[in-house]
Amino acid sequence: MRAAALYSAAGTLLLTTLAAAPAGGAPAAGPATGVPGAAELRGTGVAVARARATGIAFGACSPADVPKAPKNVQCGTVSVPLDYAHPNGKQITLTVSRALATQKDPHNSKRKVPRQGALVYNPGGPGGSSMYFPLVGAVPEWKRIAAAYDLVGYAPRGVGRSAPLSCEDPKHFLKAPTASPPHPSEAYKREQIAAARAYARGCAQRGGDRLRFYTSLNNARDLDVLRAALGENQLTFVGASYGTYFGALYATLFPSHLRRMVLDSAVNPDPAKVWYRNNLDQSAAFEERWADFRDWIARHNDVYKLGDTSEKVQRSYDTARERLAGKAAGGKVGPGQLQNAFLRAGYYDDFWPSRAQALSAYLHGDPKPLVRLAAPDLKTAAEAENGNAVYTAVECNDAPWPTDWRVWDRDNTRLARVAPFETWDNAWMNLPCAFWPAPRQQPVDVRTGVGELPPVLILAAERDAAAPYPGALEMNRRLAGSVLVTERDAGTHGIGGGANQCVNGHFEAYLLEGRVPGRRAACAPHRLPSAATGPAKEARRGALRSGRR
């Protein structure tokens, strides 16, 4: 998905500190194909043994890792091989954060809760960091889990201070204002092709020989090394969004190392979908979610005055986009920034009131709320550029992509006729993969047999746009014995520990007791937000931050 500061699961968190189908057939083993070879398997074993012996020396967190970290949150590092086929070669260092289990029952202060080990969290991306995750223990919905588990976050390879990757000068990454034509001209397409080529060259120049090693398979291997460094014989893991994909790879590669696993907002692991077709499916799903948002605005026309039908709301949005193309709000908010702000609302419906209020204010003569929401924050430029670089490297390395522009043009032109909201912007986000300089892998066929794994809990919202629901069904089919809990008629991306108490009941029962509800279970949707009547405000999310996917 497009690079944007998007936030996952605990959507209710208000914490101030606290994103061409592969060739068929069975490829030969080896790192260039994505099929785990003997050398990588041996190398992982070497790295795991070394990490178990070394452990992690936790101490005070630096401001670069977790600013203003409370005393109960500590940080450390773990070393992993850059190339698992050569485990004694170059090492890279991943940053890790941890809050020890409180062992205090939030409902009975006299009762001591047994510790169940470490719970590792990944928020997705690729390119997302969970260094803030231990702070979630202060949130009511997470206190029972924080009592039983050490909450562990980390920055995956390439992210933050974990062997950081960059593809261009951050000062140029958040340039604004920008265009966002839903049906681009041939001249605009040529500009974007040139930009994609330049970006891919920048990744090669800045990433050098390291570039090929930013992959989902290596993320899964790193996770096993982290498990060993934490002193855990088996992994307890919660992965959201893209984190569900390499979580599923982990389950496929290391089934006996798994204790419990929650895959929240599962992406489609079908090798034929990774990643080109998954992105097309995502763009189609965002059109449906954009329609949900417009319907909600129309129902609150008495507040927003943007139209009492979905079609009228669309015309109001189009009017704003056309005005911004002529004159950027605050000199920084053009059609691209407008689209990015509203794309975030496709992830989280608690963003709906702020977006609707800002659009209404802009169309009625006050641009300030829209500028506050949509103008790029230059203070986060380096972080945003880094996240985007890792996203691009991992997705481009993971699988074959079409290298013929005509394939991209054909597929996205067709899709944009019925799903114009996000299609082309998503294509431009991923187009560097058409010109990628590093070797491509063939995706691993994620699949486990009966009895190979403990039950895996899959959580999914039926109208999730970033991780369309068919992906959860496919994940459920491929991981034998897994259980799918669906939030019906809802579209929030990341639902564990969030607004739905039914979902949270299954989430807690599984993590705390190992209980699952059967192969499938369903929850009624959480309540949609009320219409805002005051100034638009951005929800503050911090501890569970997802990336693009």
Residue count of the chain: 549
Ramachandran angles phi, psi of 275, nearest 5°: -110, -10
Catalytic residue among 464, 482, 506, 526: 464
Residue of 130, 270, 310, 493 with catalytic role:
493
Judge whether 241 counts as a catalytic residue: yes
Are 124 and 155 in contact by the 8 Å Cβ rule? The answer is: no
Residue 522 per-residue DSSP state: E
Active site residue 86: no
DSSP assignments along 51-117, one per residue: HHHH----EEPPTTTSTT--TTEEEEEEEEESSTTSTTS-EEEEEEEEE----EETTEEEEEPPP-E
Tell me the C-alpha distance between 427 and 423, whole Å.
6
31 bridge partner residues? none
Residue labelled with tokens 């924050």: 377
Catalytic residue among 8, 166, 180, 241: 241
Give the other-Cβ count within 10 Å of 405's Cβ. Answer: 15
Side-chain half-sphere CA neighbours of 85 within 13 A: 13
Structure tokens given for 65: 């890792």
Residue 39 main-chain phi, psi, to 5 deg? -65, -45
Local structure of residue 270 (DSSP, 8 states): -
Active site residue 224: no
Torsion sign over Cα 209, 210, 215, 220: positive
Could you list the active site residues?
241, 464, 493
